[in-house]
Structure 1
């Protein structure tokens, strides 16, 4: 079968982008499964160690030990994992009822930097680049591997600027806490609503609820700044607002994943045990 040159020219960039997306997603899945298995084995080993090291001398002591183990298990289940779904860094999540000292400016800078240079940030940039390349979001980038490279560094720069603005620059001035405090209790609908509204509501450094200016202003600032290195056709108000909405959407989704991370992990663990 003969493939016309027109087909190759018009479809090869799209096929290239779809291939990159597929490879990135498969890498995500492989890494997540590996991390889940490692976590499950680690927790099982810790549980075995706890049980084998406690040899009660009486039935009463056994009951006390069981109660302590139950409390310990409950505490662990409410503690946010180090990575959401075994992939996304979870530096800013805090367990239910945690009482922590205020974030220092140094703490805010470290979390922003950690989120920016984490391998998952490069993977997300690769996915966004593949998606934008496949739909030719910026025609000036043309097509093929060179265009994909342009989409990639633009996507990575967008994320980096947004991380620094939302997690460091703005909260340093507004004295806001950038950590995510999980709700952890109540129905799924209540917890979902809580997590999604965290882009509008957060805590101040003093512990009081306040408008999340870090998110609302930081995401807007990042959208405006990032538009400056795009072609002129992408610098209009509509394009900036579209990027602003994308920034807020990604952050809202990440809060929801953080809220339900332990629930998802337990489901995977139960399936793995069967």
Structure 2
């Protein structure tokens, strides 16, 4: 039951997309840092001389925005070295057409930087520097209105007299940055999609605080309440459970459905994962054959990643469903209580989670703007 409200809203989202666009029907984040990176010798400076396309899909820097398009845009990227290792703390300087456009910031613990609210239609240039590396300078970048543009292939080269550089970052800081990005992930820009990791290779374990933070964010999100309300309406229409009909019965169904979601997300997404040292998130595979990706998604209710990085039985998810179903015996109608309720809800939740995982693996990244636009 942990994601039943979001499961329902995700299905509604897919219905809208399939009904409104045949193309959609046919139709993850900056790379996270490792706690320590040992960089080997590399040759001297490289300054790209080919212009960067301002729009990677329709690349026409001169395109004028439509009257309704927003006039500002974001420019972001991830700083790495030639080996693909992250370089957090690098200084990123952005220069535009006038001195007033100049901005500077340090890449965060994920080696990620972001300049929001930039002007469309004028050329920008990035200069990136870090101790032990030669400066990296971008070609001119002209942005389209409303664009969320990620600069690819930022690879710093070691300075000529340096043979290696070791960069250290706090694992807790990296995890915090990763969660901040995950909490920006929303399907179609409004449905929470927090519990998926699109950069599975570089994900670090969550602290107990972060596990509770994510569960709390989902529990209080307005869309979670809308999902519960939708599900209660479906139950009301099907006369599910022995609640009375009418407004009183709908209110009781809504309260029970929302309580189911709260208890399941707290036990299955925070309490048990903290006690058992397991990660409650779905780790997106994204590559490989359709068969291997399908197998990965369908195994999600039964196999999880431990905080030690190893796969293990998903006691947290199954246990969360069982505990939540047991607690529901306290507020469901007396005639619906008992072992049948507990194990029936367990089977239902497992099936819903399998469907949700398959949809997550094959569909939802394309509908999650902040994940789709990250390189």
**TM-score, scaled to structure 1:** 0.68
Matched with 1:155 is 257
Matched with 2:282 is 180
Q: 2:267 aligns with which of 138, 148, 165?
A: 165
Q: Which is greater in Rg?
A: 2
> Please, what is the CA RMSD of the aligned residues?
3.7
Contact 2:273 2:280 in 1 (8 A): yes
Matched with 1:18 is none
SS in 2 for 1:176: coil
Distance apart, 1:234 and its partner CA:
0.9
Deviations 1:5-56 (A, max 9, x none): xxxxxxxxxxxxxxxx9xxx69x959xx9xxxxxx978x944796993149x
**TM-score, scaled to structure 2:** 0.51
- State the distance in 1 between where 2:350 and 2:210 align: 22
Contact 1:84 1:257 in 2 (8 A): no
Q: 2:348 aligns with which of 246, 256, 262?
A: 246
Deviations 1:139-168 (A, max 9, x none): 3x2111111111111100011111111011
Matched with 2:104 is none
The structure in which a higher percent of residues are helix is 1
- State the distance in 2 between where 1:96 and 1:173 align: 25
| Structure 2: segments with no counterpart, 5+ residues | 1-7, 21-56, 58-68, 76-118, 127-137, 141-149, 155-180
- Structure 2 CA distance for partners of 1:50 and 1:255, relative to 1, 3 Å: farther
- State the distance in 1 between where 2:190 and 2:296 align: 23
Matched with 1:131 is 234
Matched with 2:64 is none
Distance apart, 1:87 and its partner CA:
3.6
Q: 1:143 aligns with which of 220, 235, 245?
A: 245
Distance apart, 1:216 and its partner CA:
1.2
Q: How many residues align?
A: 222
Matched with 1:198 is 300
**Residues 1-274 of structure 1 correspond to what in structure 2 (within 5 A)?**
45-46=73-74, 52-54=123-125, 69-71=151-153, 82-139=185-242, 141-260=243-362, 261-264=364-367
| Structure 1: segments with no counterpart, 5+ residues | 1-20, 34-39, 56-60, 73-78, 270-274
